[in-house]
């Protein structure tokens, strides 16, 4: 009795103290992530306190001019993280001695480089040599999601920029012709579950694919493709390989219309439609199609996770002065 009554309150006091310390920790120091020293308040603590509003303002202005760039920024962050980790390697221009990632045929119309350049220029004015290009891209993608109507979320910062960008590394991106098993394997190699892979594919709620990326489904019409929609895709392709086809009917809005299109067999890429046709992933597509809040929640969690892939630190990275060039 005595034992119980003295120990229980002590435990409660300890638990409360712990909560208070955790809250102080989160507000004062941000939330820390793992071995790379990433932190949600990284630049607040060091020397660039206005980094978040600067990024947000420039992204918002660019997207007000051209809302389709939201898709470009989000996709660029994905390509950055999946090749050599989130280290800004996708931003590097080719030189006479090196053909960079962005010049692979698989660059497949990456867009939004000027937005990143504009942010970098402003940040170099405010706090030279402090904010990495990899962080700028991660924040810009996050702000683009929100601008388009998607979830708002905080991301850790403190990534350093890599010094390698090679055309041959882009072979590691998933192909649009992949089936569900291949997609699960490709994302699984980077630590993602099948559900996280489906949530991330939901980024195709924004933007377009060019005919070259889906014409494989038209020669002999893919039986998983709705007959009417097959005609729509063929009409797009009649304008050539570069003709754009929106992934869904609301290609500038971040919503769950993409998943509903998959239910109607209106997926554009093989890798889109397979998510509904495979029993390994269908339940997730159904869930996201019926519950947008669930899609938003899983998407933001998976984006934070994607943003931590093979992050560089001072031992193997730098803060680039110009996002297109290694220092």
Two tokens, residue 186: 């490709």
Is there a contact between 43 and 132 (Cβ–Cβ < 8 Å)? no
Two tokens, residue 255: 């919503």
| Residue 74 interacts with which of ligand NAG, ligand HEM, none, CB < 5 to 8 Å by class | ligand HEM
> What are the distances in angstroms from CA 319 to CA 54, 102, 113, 156?
18, 20, 17, 16
**Which one among 50, 146, 153, 178 touches ligand HEM, defined by CB under 6 A?**
178
Q: Which is nearer to ligand HEM, 208 or 221 (CB)?
A: 208
**Which one among 33, 43, 78, 259 touches ligand HEM, defined by CB under 6 A?**
78
Q: Which is nearer to ligand HEM, 150 or 156 (CB)?
A: 150
Least spacing, CB of residue 285 vs ligand HEM, in Å: 13
Question: Which part of the chain contacts ligand HEM (CB under 6 A), choosing from 36-44, 87-95, 103-111, 153-161?
Answer: 103-111
| Residue 174 interacts with which of ligand NAG, ligand HEM, none, CB < 5 to 8 Å by class | ligand HEM
Q: Which is nearer to ligand HEM, 9 or 188 (CB)?
A: 188
Residue indicated by tokens 């869904």: 248
Exposure letters 47-64 (e unless 16+ CB within 10 A, then b): ebeebbebbbebbeebbe
**Which one among 57, 179, 216, 260 touches ligand NAG, defined by CB under 6 A?**
179
* Backbone torsions φ then ψ of 14, nearest 5 degrees: -60, -45
Q: Is 77 in the site for ligand NAG (CB under 6 A)?
A: no
Q: Is 216 in the site for ligand HEM (CB under 6 A)?
A: no
In a 3-state reduction of DSSP, which class is residue 322? strand
* Element housing 301 (H / E): helix 292-306
Two tokens, residue 160: 């350093």
Two tokens, residue 163: 């010094």
Q: Is 279 in the site for ligand NAG (CB under 6 A)?
A: no
Annotated binding residue 101:
yes
* Element housing 18 (H / E): helix 2-24
Catalytic-role residue among 75, 77, 79, 265: 79
Catalytic, 79? Answer: yes
Judged by the rule CB under 6 A, the positions of this chain that interact with ligand NAG are 102-103, 105, 107, 110, 179, 181-182
């Amino acid at each position: 009795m005595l034992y119980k009554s003295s120990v229980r309150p002590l435990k409660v006091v300890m638990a409360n103290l712990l909560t208070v310390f955790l809250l102080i920790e989160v507000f004062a120091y941000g939330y820390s992530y793992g071995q790379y020293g990433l932190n949600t308040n990284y630049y607040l603590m060091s020397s660039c306190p206005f980094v978040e509003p600067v990024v947000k303002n420039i992204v918002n202005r660019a997207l007000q001019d051209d809302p389709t760039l939201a898709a470009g920024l989000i996709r660029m962050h994905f390509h950055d993280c999946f090749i050599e980790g989130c280290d800004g390697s996708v931003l590097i221009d080719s030189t006479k001695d090196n053909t960079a990632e962005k010049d692979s045929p698989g660059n497949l119309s990456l867009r939004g480089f000027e937005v990143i350049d504009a942010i970098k220029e402003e940040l170099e004015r405010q706090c030279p040599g402090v904010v990495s290009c990899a962080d700028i891209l991660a924040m810009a993608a996050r702000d683009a999601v929100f601008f388009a109507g998607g979830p708002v979320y905080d991301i850790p910062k403190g990534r350093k920029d890599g010094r390698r960008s090679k055309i041959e590394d882009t072979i590691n991106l998933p192909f649009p012709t992949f089936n569900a098993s291949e997609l699960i394997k490709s994302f699984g190699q980077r630590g993602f579950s099948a559900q996280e892979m489906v949530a991330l594919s939901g980024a195709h709620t924004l933007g377009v694919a060019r005919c070259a990326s889906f014409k494989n489904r038209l020669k002999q019409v893919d039986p998983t493709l709705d007959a009417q929609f097959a005609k729509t895709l063929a009409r797009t392709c009649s304008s050539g390989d570069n003709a754009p086809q929106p992934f869904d009917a609301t290609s500038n809005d971040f919503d769950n219309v993409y998943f509903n299109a998959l239910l109607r067999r209106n997926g554009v890429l093989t890798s889109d439609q397979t998510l509904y046709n495979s029993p390994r992933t269908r339940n997730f597509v159904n869930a996201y199609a019926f519950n947008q809040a669930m899609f938003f929640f899983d998407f933001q969690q998976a984006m934070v996770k994607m943003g931590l892939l093979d992050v560089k630190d001072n031992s193997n990275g730098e803060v680039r002065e110009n996002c297109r060039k290694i220092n």
